[in-house]
């Protein structure tokens, strides 16, 4: 089998390239913390959240919920224009916690503020699959008429046993249903998977490529498991370190390539690995290497293996009803 897909010089379907194809120029994400919570923290389903979760580890310095949406956007635009000179257009990325976990009226107030900025071309809404409903999706579908809208669902794992272990608060079926509801409206769908969650074998993690490929998603982020300070997982890791197996950087690069060889080439890859400041890590890490450096290593290894995304993808496989 030979590579026939046109991704330029890349051997995988890069989300940044697909955005550039759509808009004709580069778009930079601006992370916004709008002060949401989630049903796994406010008592609706649980208290304390998922065992791995500490959102402070992912928020940039300008991003704090006590600031208005406008202030965060203004400071974020200034920050990124200094860091990336070509950054002139942006996507407002509502990342912290579950950004659809509020009444529709409140959601409209929040997202309309972001879309008032001329340089903001769209919004990305990070949320859980159990925090969406028909009325909210109707609103987001309406927004797609004038702006780019992506709903980014945390799947994390396709296995209910794992989801229960990490106190996720919903099952995989809930994720499938939310994704299908969103796809029915033509809204862009992003997703997350975490590699290395306790109890999952390498074979089980790889098998998720086939499962995910049958869902109508547009893009995906991969995260290696990291033990973050001030989380329930940190406490469990301290008590039961033998239950956790971590990838070395070289092992992870080969694993990710094994995974994307089985992944549908239609799914754009947003990120190969998670990145948090070292001060938040309570377990093994990879030092100060950045995501762009990991991308280079993955591309080099793909060339060495003469491999590409979807090399072993079986398009005829069908796990879900259309």
Conformational region of residue 35, where left means phi above 0, alpha means psi within -120 to 50, and beta covers everything else:
left
**Residues with pLDDT less than 70, the chain:** 1-5, 57-62, 85, 316-322
Q: CA 276, CA 272: separation in Å to the nearest integer?
A: 14
Q: CA 44, CA 38: separation in Å to the nearest integer?
A: 8
What lies within 8 Å, CB to CB, of 275 at 6+ separation is: 290, 291
The domains located in the chain, with CATH, are 15-304 (3.20.20)
Q: Greatest CA span in the chain, whole angstroms?
A: 54
Tokens of 172: 């995989």
* Alpha-carbon separation of residue 70 from 67, 114, 156, 205 (angstroms): 8, 7, 31, 40
Q: CA 195, CA 86: separation in Å to the nearest integer?
A: 33
> pTM score, two decimals?
0.92
Tokens of 101: 């976990």
Tell me the three state secondary structure of residue 221. strand
| CB distance 56 to 280 below 8 Å | yes
Nearest residue to 34 (alpha-carbon basis) of 79, 92, 99, 91: 99
| CB distance 4 to 314 below 8 Å | no
| Residue 161 neighbours by CB distance under 10 Å | 10
pLDDT of 1 reads: 45
pLDDT of 315 reads: 74
pLDDT of 132 reads: 97
DSSP 268-315: EEEESS----GGGB-S---TT--HHHHHHHHHHHHHHTT--TTTT--T
Matching residue, tokens 């796809």: 183
């Amino acid at each position: 089998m030979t590579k026939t897909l046109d991704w330029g010089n890349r051997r995988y379907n890069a989300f940044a390239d697909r955005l550039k194809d759509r808009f004709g120029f580069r778009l930079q994400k601006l992370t916004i913390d709008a002060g949401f919570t989630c049903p796994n923290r406010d008592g609706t389903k649980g208290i304390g959240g998922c065992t791995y979760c500490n959102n402070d580890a992912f928020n940039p310095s300008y991003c704090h919920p006590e600031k208005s949406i406008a202030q965060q956007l203004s400071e974020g635009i200034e920050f990124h224009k200094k860091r990336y000179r070509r950054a002139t257009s942006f996507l407002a990325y509502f990342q912290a916690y579950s950004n659809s976990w509020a009444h529709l009226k409140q959601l409209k107030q929040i997202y309309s503020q972001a879309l008032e900025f001329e340089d903001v071309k769209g919004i990305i809404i990070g949320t859980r699959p159990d925090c969406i409903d028909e009325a909210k999706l109707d609103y987001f579908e309406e927004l797609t008429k004038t702006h780019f809208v992506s709903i980014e669902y945390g799947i994390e794992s396709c296995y209910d046993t794992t989801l229960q272990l990490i106190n996720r608060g919903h099952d995989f079926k809930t994720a499938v249903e939310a994704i299908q509801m969103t796809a029915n409206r033509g809204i862009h769908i992003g997703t997350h998977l975490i590699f290395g969650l306790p109890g999952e074998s390498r074979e089980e993690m790889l098998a998720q490529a086939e499962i995910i490929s049958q869902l109508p998603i547009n893009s995906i982020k991969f995260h290696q498991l990291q033990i973050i300070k001030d989380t329930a997982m940190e406490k469990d890791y301290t008590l039961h370190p033998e239950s956790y197996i971590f990838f070395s950087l070289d092992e992870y690069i080969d694993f990710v390539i094994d995974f994307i060889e089985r992944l549908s080439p239609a799914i754009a890859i947003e990120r190969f690995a998670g990145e948090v400041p070292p001060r938040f890590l309570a377990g093994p890490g990879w030092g100060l290497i950045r995501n762009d450096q990991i991308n280079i290593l993955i591309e080099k290894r793909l060339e060495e293996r003469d491999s590409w995304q979807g090399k072993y993808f079986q398009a005829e496989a069908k796990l879900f009803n259309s």
